[in-house]
């Protein structure tokens, strides 16, 4: 015979709500640990660092084959890369940069990269990192010109990641 008692074989509404609340709390904790906005900043910084390296290496290759930088051997005060269209075109024409370098890097990203050259064989290419990981990197100890940022790490100074 079958027992028709009031017992059921499913979960109650309260049990389901408790499980859903626990899963939600775990998801919030996981998101706080991963910090997706920091990951986006780190990705942008990595792309900018790659662009800095590409421009720096192209400029050095140009210097070694032509005997001077595209902007000349007298030096150049700190300039953002997006304002260096003539120099970039010379680097592209010499085959040191890809033909679509400006489109690939984006003018917004190029505006964040600064170049300083004090003359022959002196080149500093810098950018200000957004992510915490890049801000504590060993190369993030310079000012915008690539000079020694004496107060970097103090929290009051803006420090740049430079390749020189």
What are 41-76's pLDDT values in tens digits? Answer: 999 999 999 999 999 999 999 999 998 899 876 778
> Where are any strands of DSSP class E within 4-130?
76-80, 113-119, 122-127
User: Pick from 119, 3, 19, 15: which is nearest to 63 by CA?
Assistant: 119
pLDDT attached to residue 29: 83
% residues pLDDT > 90 (the chain): 38
Query: Residue 156 above 80 pLDDT?
Result: no
- Its pTM stands at 0.77
pLDDT attached to residue 54: 94
pLDDT attached to residue 106: 81
Task: Tell me if residue 153 falls in helix, strand or coil.
Answer: coil
């Amino acid at each position: 015979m079958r027992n028709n008692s009031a017992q059921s074989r499913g979960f109650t509404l309260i049990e389901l709500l408790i499980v859903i609340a626990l899963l939600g709390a775990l998801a919030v904790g996981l998101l706080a640990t991963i910090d997706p906005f920091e990951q986006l900043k780190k990705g942008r910084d990595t792309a900018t660092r790659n662009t800095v390296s590409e421009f720096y290496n192209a400029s050095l290759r140009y210097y070694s084959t032509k005997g001077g930088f595209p902007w000349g051997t007298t030096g150049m005060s700190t300039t953002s890369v997006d304002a260096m269209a003539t120099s970039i075109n010379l680097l592209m024409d010499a085959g040191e940069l890809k033909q679509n370098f400006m489109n690939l890097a984006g003018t917004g990203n190029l505006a964040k990269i600064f170049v300083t050259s004090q003359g022959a064989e002196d080149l500093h290419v810098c950018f200000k990192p957004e992510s915490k990981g890049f801000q504590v990197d060993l190369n993030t100890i310079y000012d915008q010109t690539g000079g020694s940022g004496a107060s970097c790490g103090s929290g009051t100074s803006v420090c740049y990641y430079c390749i020189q």
